[in-house]
Amino acid sequence: MLNLVKYIESKFINKNDFPLFSSGDTVTVFFEIKEGEKKRIQSFKGIVIKKQGKGLTKTFTVRKMSGEIGIERTFIFNQPSIKKIELNKKGKVRRSKIYYFRFLRGKKARVKSKEEKNRK
């Protein structure tokens, strides 16, 4: 059974190379949206809440604030509609899944960057 899964993954899933990032990093994901006949590229900029899974089915969740409303979106690493992932800022967090970030507002909802740590 495992050999069959590996065979299908190697045949049908194209592996994308994106920069290495982890939880707490701020990323911009550029993905293609199809609306009827038209295709366009849309960006989603936010903080990575979690990475999970293994192999070619790994996923990551990005959270952004739109006014007072928090929006989360889960992406599959090897999704063909993802065109580019841009790493904007490296963040310093102590956990791999920062679910507590959902409940923070205002100044508390900031993640320290790794560059700030190096300057001090």
pLDDT for 59-80, tens place per residue? 999 999 888 888 999 998 888 8
Give 2 or 86, the one with higher predicted confidence: 86
What are the extents of the domains in the chain?
16-104
Q: Kindly report the average pLDDT of the chain as a whole number.
A: 84
**Predicted local distance difference test score (pLDDT) of residue 33:** 92
pLDDT tens for 2-59 read 688 778 777 777 777 788 888 889 999 999 999 899 999 999 999 999 999 887 778 9
Architecture of the domain defined by 16-104:
Roll (2.30)
Specify the length of the chain in residues.
Answer: 120
Burial degree of 29 (CB within 10 A; 0-12, 13-18, 19+): buried
Flag whether pLDDT at 84 surpasses 80: yes
